[in-house]
Amino acid sequence: MKSSVSSLLTSLLLCTFVAQAAPHDNMNATLWYQTSAEFKASAIQTYQTAALQLPHAIADKSWTALPNQTSGYQDLPVAIIVDIDETILDNSPTAAQGVLLNVGYDPKRWDQWVAMAAAKAVPGAVAFVNKAEAAGVKVLYISNRECEKRGDNAEPCPQKADTLRNLKAVGIKKVDASQIWLKSEQKNWSSEKESRRLLAAKDFRIVMSIGDDFGDFLPDVKKNITPEQRSALVDKYQDYWGAKWFVLANPTYGSWQTILKQPNSQYLQSVPAAQ
């Protein structure tokens, strides 16, 4: 009797342990993002490399980071395009909140976070942006933060003022609303950023693109595409990486993940079966 009670207790403890041991899907990625020296160093490395390239990019009038900026751009003022989320601003507290609540992405929860304007900066980002602005380079923030009314407030895009406030709060010295181009702020400004890049290319020689998602660099890479096709595009534009295009690591979300079909375990490349 005693032993059956004890084995029942052991089973219960084991069940509890197994239940607790099943982590949220985003646990490791969020921990890496928030705690690792490796992430911090890689972000600083990215921005310091960009800063080293900047003088060459400014001086060389044929230098453009947009593959389709092919003529009539050489004497335009110089600009760089940066994404905002997980490029300039670190929104990992929302990922951590999702892990702790054991929930997935929720646009309402996200918008509450945007309204707080409390994101810290991605390491290295502020120093780089301030350096670029000081060198006379316009920084254009092309972001997929959604423009939408909030509650009964008539303001069509309160997210824009929130974002500006947050960018200033992290220490960006020279930024105004005209530099922030949010998703759906204008007709045809969808999550596909190419239309906004083309618009920027009319007035500026775009010397760098910086982002955490492949869609921050190229069109048509965020849906109906396989990992292999994306990988081939990375190779096609090999000369851009670390020179004109700078990518920040983001294992917590992104089109890298949303393009995968379920079950996503089908993409794991394991060791060959033993003969």
Site residues (vs Mg ion, CB under 5 A): 83, 85-86, 212
Q: Which is nearer to Mg ion, 137 or 216 (CB)?
A: 216
Q: Which is nearer to Mg ion, 63 or 215 (CB)?
A: 215
CB of 20 to Mg ion, least distance (A): 32
From the centroid of its chain, how far is CA 259?
16
Distance CA 172, CA 138 (A): 13
> 184-189 long-range CB contacts below 8 Å, 24 or more apart?
184/146, 184/147, 184/148, 185/147, 185/157, 185/160
Q: Which is nearer to Mg ion, 164 or 213 (CB)?
A: 213
Q: Which amino acid is located at 99 in the chain?
A: V
Which residues have C-beta within 8 Å of that of residue 259, sequence separation ≥ 6? 222, 223, 225, 226, 227, 230
Q: Which is nearer to Mg ion, 183 or 205 (CB)?
A: 183
Q: Are 140 and 61 in contact (CB under 8 A)?
A: no
Q: What are phi and psi of 185, to 5 degrees?
A: -70, -35
CB of 259 to Mg ion, least distance (A): 15
Distance CA 63, CA 206 (A): 8
Q: Which is nearer to Mg ion, 85 or 162 (CB)?
A: 85
Q: Which is nearer to Mg ion, 205 or 215 (CB)?
A: 215
Q: Which residue is nearest to Mg ion (CB)?
A: 85
Tokens 């949010």 sit at which residue? Answer: 182
Q: Which is nearer to Mg ion, 73 or 90 (CB)?
A: 90
Cis ω for the linkage preceding 263 (within 30 of 0): yes
CB of 218 to Mg ion, least distance (A): 14
111 by Cβ neighbours in 10 Å (0-12 / 13-18 / 19+) ranks as middle
Strands 245-247 and 205-211: parallel
